[in-house]
Amino acid sequence: MQNLGQIRNDWTLEEIRAIMDQPFNDLIFQAQTVHRMHFNPNEVQTSTLVNIKSGGCAEDCAYCSQSARNQTDIEKQHMMEVQEVLEQALVAKERGATRLCMGAAWRNPTKKDFPRVLEMVKVVKGLGLETCLTLGMLNDDQVKQLKDAGLDYYNHNLDTSEAFYPKIITTRNYQDRLDTIDKVQQAGINVCSGGIIGMGEQHTDRAELLRTFATMRHHPNSVPINLLVPIEGTPLAHMKDKTDSFEFIRVIAAARIVMPQSYVRLSAGRTSLTDEAQALCFMAGANSIFYGDRLLTTDNPESDHDLMLFKKLGIEMQRDVKAEAKAQKMAEQISELTA
Ligand code: SAM
Ligand code: DTB
Ligand code: SF4
């Protein structure tokens, strides 16, 4: 392919399908070639998730354990105290994560809850961790306040193609999602946006989702590719073992090729992938993961298992040297002030 590894925003569906459909070895070789043009191939960025408000969500996302419409057995919880987030952030940092991703089961954050969210961002940043939030839709004022608080990333997924989306969510439309992503990007906050594979969508829906991201003016900085975690009590509970892992790896490789400088995140569903399948995902250009024993309401591989896999593969966890230096400086200033 010509211009392999160059940033383009004019990808067509046919081009992306052709990338995805080529022989597996050619696809992986191409993805690995692009990956090496922009990244250290033996380094993976790690984010840890914290569910800061669990369950009772007003949206009707068919995959989600936290929708009030789904009869799941998760524990509903009010918004966490800042202190509890701080404690979890310390554990994540100790284990080597560089980013804390705080998620809330909201359609959108309310005025009442927002000051505490801002406080969480400041406190977590103070530890030298990067911050990411995923709170649902945002208005202009909220985006500005998050930027002022120093938020590094905002996660807001498109989940699937525009055509398949109404089969999964009816309480908000695709354009709502695109609008929030646009606001976040315009404010200068890094966008994290991806989707889910295995909800009953077709191959072409997966290519179309990638096309939507790859034709944005700025590709999302981070693109999480989730493998559906089928949850009892959700309309997608029956979608067990429906996705071939090679198809999942093909999507990862195609994401790497069409968005050469984005972090491609191997996200939910890793517990149902073998170590070998995950190794192929890294070979295909995945270079970040959620790290820590839990996702939001479901299990993730245990950190020790991930460390063992990294060791077998010779993969290093990325360190955020800038954030560490900043936190060190802040700690020095605090100790000077309190001396
Ligand atoms: N409420 C916010 C929202 O929807 O933007 C933030 C939290 S929501 C749980 C974040 C993302 O997690 C969803 O957009 C979806 O892509 C992913 N997700 C949720 N449940 C999942 C599941 N069962 N399997 C795979 N991915 C899932
Ligand atoms: C993303 O794309 N995946 C993460 C994060 N962004 C917020 C969430 C995965 C959730 C998996 C199901 C659960 O644990 O409830
Ligand atoms: Fe609510 Fe987010 Fe779950 Fe949808 S994915 S039901 S918006 S928590």
Band of pLDDT at residue 335, cut at 50, 70 and 90 = confident
Q: For 156-209, write each residue's pLDDT tens digit.
A: 999 999 999 999 999 999 999 999 999 999 999 999 999 999 999 999 999 999
Known binding site: residues? 57, 61, 64, 101, 132, 192, 265
Band of pLDDT at residue 299, cut at 50, 70 and 90 = very high
Q: Please report the atom of ligand 1 found closest to the CA of residue 234.
A: 23
CA distance 22 to 42: 25
The number of beta carbons lying within 10 Å of the beta carbon of residue 102 is: 25
Q: Is the CB of 62 inside a 6 Å radius of any atom of ligand 1?
A: no
Residue 66 corresponds to which amino acid?
Q
Q: Is the dihedral of CA 170, 173, 174, 179 positive or negative?
A: negative
Class of domain 41-249+261-280+287-338: alpha beta
Q: Mean per-residue pLDDT for 274-294?
A: 97
Ligand 3 centre distance from Cα of residue 56 (Å): 9
CA distance 182 to 330: 32
pLDDT reported for residue 326: 65
Known binding site for [4Fe-4S] cluster: residues? 57, 61, 64
Band of pLDDT at residue 327, cut at 50, 70 and 90 = low
Q: Which residues pair with 48 in a beta bridge?
A: 100
> What is the greatest pairwise CA distance in the chain?
65
Q: What stretch of H or E contains 101?
A: strand 99-104
Q: Which residues pair with 25 in a beta bridge?
A: none
The residue assigned the tokens 């211009």 is: 3
Q: What stretch of H or E contains 133?
A: strand 130-134
Which residue among 59, 63, 137, 177 is best mutated to probe the pocket of ligand 3, counting the most ligand atoms within 8 A of its Cβ?
A: 59
pLDDT reported for residue 22: 98
Q: For 7-40, write each residue's pLDDT tens digit.
A: 999 999 999 999 999 999 999 999 999 999 999 9
Ligand 3 centre distance from Cα of residue 60 (Å): 7
Domain ranges for the chain: 41-249+261-280+287-338
Known binding site for [2Fe-2S] cluster: residues? 101, 132, 192, 265
- Do the bridges between strand 43-53 and strand 288-290 make them parallel or antiparallel, or are there none, so unpaired? parallel
Would you state the structure tokens that stand for residue 2, as one six-digit string? 């010509």
Q: Please report the atom of ligand 2 found closest to the CA of residue 64.
A: 15
- pTM for this prediction: 0.94
* Residue 85 burial class via C-beta count within 10 angstroms: exposed 0-12, middle 13-18, buried 19 and up: buried
Residue 74 has pLDDT above 70, yes or no: yes
Higher model confidence: residue 321 or residue 299?
Answer: 299
Q: For 201-251, write each residue's pLDDT tens digit.
A: 999 999 999 999 999 999 999 999 999 999 999 999 999 877 899 999 999
Which residue among 45, 46, 47, 49 is best mutated to probe the pocket of ligand 2, counting the most ligand atoms within 8 A of its Cβ?
A: 49
CA distance 186 to 258: 22
Which residue among 77, 265, 295 is best mutated to probe the pocket of ligand 2, counting the most ligand atoms within 8 A of its Cβ?
A: 295
CB 251 within 8 A of CB 21: no
| Catalytic residue (choose from 17, 172, 177, 192) | 192
pLDDT reported for residue 322: 64
Q: Mean pLDDT across the chain, nearest whole number?
A: 95
Q: Mean per-residue pLDDT for 135-144?
A: 97
If you write DSSP's letter for every residue of 29-94 in order, what string do you get? HHHHHHHHHHS-TTEEEEEEEEEEEBS-BSS--TT-TTBTTS---PPPBPPPPHHHHHHHHHHHHH
The residue assigned the tokens 């419409």 is: 69
Q: Is the CB of 236 inside a 6 Å radius of any atom of ligand 1?
A: no
CA distance 246 to 244: 5
| Catalytic residue (choose from 99, 132, 177, 281) | 132
Q: For 104-139, write each residue's pLDDT tens digit.
A: 999 999 999 999 999 999 999 999 999 999 999 999
| 192 in catalytic set | yes
> Whose CA is closest to 290, among 224, 240, 199, 236?
224
> Whose CA is closest to 222, among 103, 101, 135?
101
| 57 in catalytic set | yes
| 101 in catalytic set | yes
pLDDT reported for residue 212: 98
The number of beta carbons lying within 10 Å of the beta carbon of residue 71 is: 9
pLDDT reported for residue 323: 62
CB 50 within 8 A of CB 89: yes
For 31: left if phi > 0, alpha if psi spans -120 to 50, otherwise beta; the answer is: alpha
